Structure 1
Amino acid sequence: MGSAKVVNRLVFILSVILTGAIAGFFVWLVLFVMDVGLTLVWDGLSSWFGRFYPVLMCVVGGIVIGLFARRFGNYPEDLRTVMAKVKRDGGYDYDKLGRMSVAAVLPLVFGGSVGPEAGLTGVIAGLCTWAGQRMRRFGSDFRELTEAGVTATLSALFTAPLYGFASGMGGRTAGDSGEGSTPRWVKVVVYACAIAGALAAMLLLTHYVGGGLPLPHYEWDVVGTDELVWLVPLILIGALAGWLFCVSDALLSRVSGKFSDRPLLKPVVAGAVLGVCGVVLPFTMFSGESQAVELDSLWTGMGAALLLVMGFVKILVTAMCVNMGWRGGHFFPTIFAGISIGYGMALLSGADPVFCLCTVTAALVGGVMRKPLMAVLLLFLCFPLLAAIPMALAAFVGSRIPLPSWVSEAEGEIGKPESVDARRL
């Protein structure tokens, strides 16, 4: 009996590693497909239509997204809703994985200012739930497969294992309390194995096949008096950007409700606005990781005012997209917004640019997430460990900026069950 239990544990751990590797593969595959789609839509055809091509293609994208939502439902659900359902129910619906996958890619290919994390997390959570329900021989442990898959997905997508690990260990899962609950040390092992499998698959595929996320990685320099003098202003402008995102997100959520009986019109209107912004400020389109790399070589010749305006417009466009039918995540676009604003402040202040980027982006992301520790762990995907102290301070201040009561109430609704059937709207 004892040896059988040991064998079950070993098979379970191997299954977790395989689950992580599958999650890493799926992350890589979606990013690869997204890159191919972006190349086809934006490089292969743009030369035929001239300067106003973004308006045309974003309106077309809005029509496609709207028709898809009207036919199949509102997918994908946002990351916080997916995580809340996994924590609450111990799993996630897996009967509509195909439509969730397509819905996750469409806004990205048509230039939406959204990230891929929401769609990827939902699909992987569904796949892991399906696998876990067929592994009941492991007893209560099979429930950990879903959260392990989510943890692996976030770690592979952001190349930030500490962020993925912390997001998995935080909160309580259905069945966490009472007799038969999974010991915490088992969770640690499960999540570590899943993350290892995901990162190995993601990094190997990226190295040998290509693809992945091209986010820049910044090197820390010596912090002097000039940087310390500008610390508070940098934190405040980043916190202001985070506050603006929360307010505009809640406001546009209400605006979205006004279109409840017109599910096709909503993404088309958003696409038209997105396209106009793309004509005037091209960097306000797309998820932001490739644009951050490009901005890294252009910012010195762009001017402080342009960089600041571009960052704040990116905040507004992202809030519009995630609420007006172009469903997706907001992490990558808000990180890009922080980088753009940080470069603008570097030109204004003369302070070290990386110090400005770290501080502004941490305050912004901290304000958006309202969880300073998670914000810092996430930002290690592009900022160095040596920047942890100013980032922690900035993220803490950003997360403590008070929001209007009506925004807080809207935030409280996130994670509650909602209908995804657009045909009932």
Structure 2
Amino acid sequence: MVTIKDIILIVYGLFLSAVIGLIAAAFLITEGFFSDIVWVSNNQILQIILIIIGSGILYYLLKRWPSLPKTAHDSITELKQNQTINYQDVFLNLLITLVILTFGAGVGPEAALLSAIISLSIWQADNLRYLYFQYDVLKQLPFHKALGRLLNPFRYRQKYDDSIAPKMPQILRKKILYAVFTINGIWAFALLLRQTDQPSFILKLGQSHWQLTQLWLLPVLMIAGYIFAILCKVCYNFFYRIFHRWQLSLLQKVILGAVGIILVSYLAPDLLFSGQHSLHLLIGSWSHKSAGFLTVMALLKLVFLAWCLNLNWRGGDIFPITFAAMTEGFAAASLLPNYDALFVTAIIATTIMSELASPIVAGIFLLFFFPIILSPVIIVIAVLMFLKNKYLPKLNVKLD
């Protein structure tokens, strides 16, 4: 039977999950706002001055908090080791990432954003535990004092304790509630982005009319995409070894990272940032570019990503890899004009992204960009790449 206590716990959980969603959306809105301020002018001298200022800010923050910014991988590792996460640095983590993204680094927001969501989810669980185990105490307090405790972000919490965890009631079945809270958080996230008219992450690339007779291309294009991805990994290894051998100081790394951003802003400004809002180029101003041009842009995007990751301008790699993989896909499609362009692009992009990121990420993420008729092709490639990674030797390179 559902009690008043259970209802209060559920309502409190929905409130906290909405807060997490709003924080995530506010981060993206803030990043877009400051990026527009920094890059609104086409004056390259002014841009260089602003990048130098941003480098100084980043150096100060990294000097003060050298373990930041955290990625989702860092948060998951900490959670596995300690069964909890230190979420006191969530906003510092987002602040440092905000500086990195604002000043044009070729990385994405998803690493820090997912890390923050993981940390805040633990924060939510600790707050819910406090309400559950201190419910009788809170009932005795005046309403405003009890509410003040529940709304205090960090003071009143209860960490996970395995010895008392089994005492949680059946109504709080974790998997069901986690799903409800997750949906609620996503709803709050999407609502704020929509109300503030933020650009969508997802771009529909057009229509496909591929035929089964074109399936013979699949293994050929997968091999081509795999070779491209391996060459990119070799390139990343080169950067990693060079910078590791040089043993640069933090100041030297930040300066070199800024130099890379300045060069890209001068030579290929379309490659700045993560690439998530540059995909429109592939069906716009780049739609008639040569295969050579598109391949060079794809490679430069990944070189820029490696440069930033190795020089402490850290962030996510999913969006930059997506941009590079799709760009190379369109390059391949331009060489095969007699075949369905999006069919070719989907095969190349899924193969490259599966190798550079992961088959699961590629299989799920790319479905949002391509027409539904290509979904079976994307899923099949992702499954094949997953089986390849599981049963065949893999060149492991961590892009973080």
Most deviating of 220-229 and 282-291: 220-229
Q: Output the amino acid matched with 1:110.
A: F
Q: Does 1:25 align with 2:22?
A: yes
- Against the structure 1 CA distance between its residues 222 and 48, is the aligned structure 2 distance closer, same or farther, given a 3 Å change threshold? closer
- Structure possessing the higher radius of gyration over alpha carbons: 2
Q: Are 1:360 and 2:351 an aligned pair?
A: no
Find the counterpart in structure 2 of residue 418 from structure 1.
none
Note if contact 1:92-1:122 (Cα within 8 Å) is conserved in structure 2: no
* Residue of structure 2 aligned with 1:40, choices 10, 31, 37: 37
Residues 224, 385 of structure 1: alpha-carbon distance in 2 compared, 3 angstrom cutoff: closer
Whether the 8 Å CA contact 2:208–2:371 is kept in 1: the answer is no
Query: In the TM superposition, what is the alpha-carbon distance from 1:376 to its structure 2 partner?
Result: 1.0
Ranked by relative contact order (alpha carbons within 8 Å, sequence separation 6 or more), the top structure is: 1
- Partners of 1:107 and 1:404 in 2: CA distance: 37
* Contact 2:73–2:115 under 8 Å retained in 1: no
1:103 aligns with 2:96: yes
Residues 403 and 107 of structure 1: CA distance in aligned 2, closer, same or farther (over 3 Å):
farther
Give the TM-score taking structure 1 as reference length. Answer: 0.75
- In the alignment, what sits opposite 1:134? 127
Alpha-carbon distance in 1 for matches of 2:288, 2:380: 30
Q: Retained in 2: the 8 A contact 1:101–1:123?
A: yes
Partner AA of 2:375 in structure 1: A
Percent identity, please.
20
Change (3 A) 1:376 1:249: same
User: Partners of 1:285 and 1:182 in 2: how far apart?
Assistant: 50
Relative to 1, partners in 2 of residues 1:291 and 1:10: Cα closer, same or farther, differing over 3 Å?
Answer: same
- Residue 254 to residue 64, structure 1, CA distance change in 2 (3 Å): farther
The root-mean-square deviation of aligned C-alpha atoms, in Å, is 3.5
1-side partners of 2:183 and 2:329: how far apart? 33
**1:101 offset after TM fit, Å?**
1.7
More moved, 222-231 vs 24-33: 222-231
The code of the aligned residue for 1:113 comes to G
1:296 alignment counterpart? 283
Aligned length: 370
User: Is 1:186 aligned with 2:179?
Assistant: no
Change (3 A) 1:174 1:334: farther
Looking at structure 2, the residues matched to 93 and 187 of structure 1 have their Cα atoms a distance apart, in angstroms, of 22
Structure 1 residues 348-405: Cα deviation after superposition (integer angstroms, max 9, x where no partner): 11132322332222112211234x2343122233234432221123334445369998
Question: TM-score, normalised on structure 2?
Answer: 0.79
Match of 1:85 among 54, 64, 78: 78
Residue pair 2:9, 2:132 contacting (<8 A) in 1 also = no
| One of 203, 214, 235 as aligned partner of 2:190 | 203
**Whole-angstrom distance in 2 between the partners of 1:297 and 1:226:** 29
Which runs of 5 or more residues in structure 1 are unaligned?
141-172, 415-425
Whole-angstrom distance in 2 between the partners of 1:364 and 1:398: 10
1:76 is aligned to 69
Distance 1:134 1:56 in 2: 44
Tell me the distance in 2 between the aligned counterparts of 1:358 and 1:204: 30
Measured after TM superposition, the shift of residue 227 of structure 1 is 4.2
CA deviation string 1:295-316 (max 9, x = no partner): 3212222211101111122112
Change (3 A) 1:407 1:239: closer
